[in-house]
Amino acid sequence: MSVVRRHKLLLVAMAVILAAILWRIFLSPSTAASMSSTPPPVLTVNVTNPTRENWSEVIQADGILTAWQEAVIGAETGSVRITELLADVGSTVKRGQVLARLASASANSDVRKQKAAVAQARANLEQAQADVKRSKAAADSGALSVQKIDEYRIAEESDRALLDSAEADLQSKQIVLAQTNVLAVDDGVISSRSALLGNVVSVGTELFRIVRQGKVEWQAEVTAQQLARVQEGQEVSVTLPGGKAIHGQVRLVAPTLSANTGRAIVYVSLPANSGAQVGMFASGSIKLSKKWAVALPESALVLRDGRSDVYVLGPDGNTVSRRTVVTGRREQGLVEIVSGLDTGAHVVASGGAFLSDGASVKVVNAGRMNRDAT
């Protein structure tokens, strides 16, 4: 046998031996099964179980913020000009506070003139009363006739009536003078001002509008089906455009629905100084009766392609499977699972966005959530 042939046979033998070694290491059935059954974990996770929560059912609605009540303040006397403005839009005012002053020179003059008329009428009455007194003293002596005595008595009654009339006219003039001070009719916040300095106003001219007591309410629009479930006194949570949430209460439920929209208005009282402003558009929720819910942390949800998924730990404790669920109410960082999940399932608490169906994981905490259902 030639040297070349022996060399070739030696190389073939070495290749067969090397292939056998590699097969035993990588391709033997036991090694392949071991490798396929324990793939390396792609993520270390915590798992949790659904909890039962006693939550209020809610109605979601939208609506506009309006004044609880508005007060219109107008001029009660006319043909006078505005001489002073003491309040503007946004001013917080108290009942009886002076908001503007009108020219009062003419009214003051009328009051002084009428006071003089009252004084004159009072003097005439005193004179008549003195005449009656003297006539009664002279009646016994026969110095005065009965007719004269009656004249003195009638003159006294006439002067008393004239004094009453003069005092009533004085009161009227004083009212006109007081009306030159434009007063706030209630506590509140001025929402509009049409009064202009120097403008001559007529009786009834609107000068200011006030949001009474600074109260703003939410007028929520609900459907006919929702309206049947809403009652006065129910709690409401309203979210303002800036994201601030405030709490209110149903004050009134409209008895009729709009013929144009088919919706009804629910009037919700909001606390004063809550930051709500008239004209804002806000969304909110009206709380109804309580109902049990199966809930998970919001972090357990994975939103993909318009659906909500969770990842559930399999029986082997190492792999997860994807479950599509239907969600409902949300409260305090939890979300209601309406369907698609067993109550005893072990769910990945967070990080599900990095997983896929059948992925291998390492579980570091498989305990249940420590929350008491209320």
Report helix, strand or coil for 77. Answer: coil
Domain boundaries in the chain? 3-36, 43-55+291-365, 60-68+214-289, 70-98+182-213, 104-179
**pTM, entire model:** 0.60
β-pairing, 206-212 with 188-193? Answer: antiparallel
Q: Quick one: pLDDT at residue 162?
A: 94
Cα–Cα distance measured from residue 302 to residue 320, given in angstroms and rounded to the nearest whole number: 14
Nearest CA among 261, 245, 345 for reference residue 295: 345
104-179 adopts what CATH topology?
Helix Hairpins (1.10.287)
Tens of pLDDT along the chain (374 residues)? 565 566 666 666 676 676 666 656 554 555 444 444 556 777 888 899 999 888 878 888 999 999 999 999 999 998 999 999 999 998 999 999 999 999 999 999 999 999 999 999 999 999 998 888 888 777 666 666 777 778 888 988 999 999 999 999 999 999 999 999 999 999 999 999 999 999 999 999 999 999 999 899 999 999 998 898 899 999 999 999 888 999 999 999 999 998 888 899 999 999 887 888 888 999 999 988 888 889 999 999 999 888 899 999 988 888 899 999 998 888 888 998 988 888 889 999 988 888 888 888 888 875 443 443 33
Helix extents (H) in the chain: 3-22, 29-37, 105-139, 146-178, 224-227
CATH number among 2.40.420.20, 1.20.58.340, 3.40.50.720, 3.40.50.800, domain 43-55+291-365: 2.40.420.20
Give the integer Cα–Cα distance in Å for 33 and 25: 12
Please tell me the distance from the alpha carbon of residue 355 to that of residue 199, in angstroms, as a whole number.
73
Is 234:252 a contact under the CB 8 Å cutoff? no
Please tell me the CATH code under which domain 60-68+214-289 is placed.
2.40.30.170
| Predicted pLDDT of residue 13 | 66
Rounded to whole angstroms, the Cα distance separating 62 from 220 reads 5
**Options 3.40.50.300, 3.30.930.10, 2.40.50.100, 2.40.30.10; CATH of 70-98+182-213:** 2.40.50.100
353's tokens: 């966005």
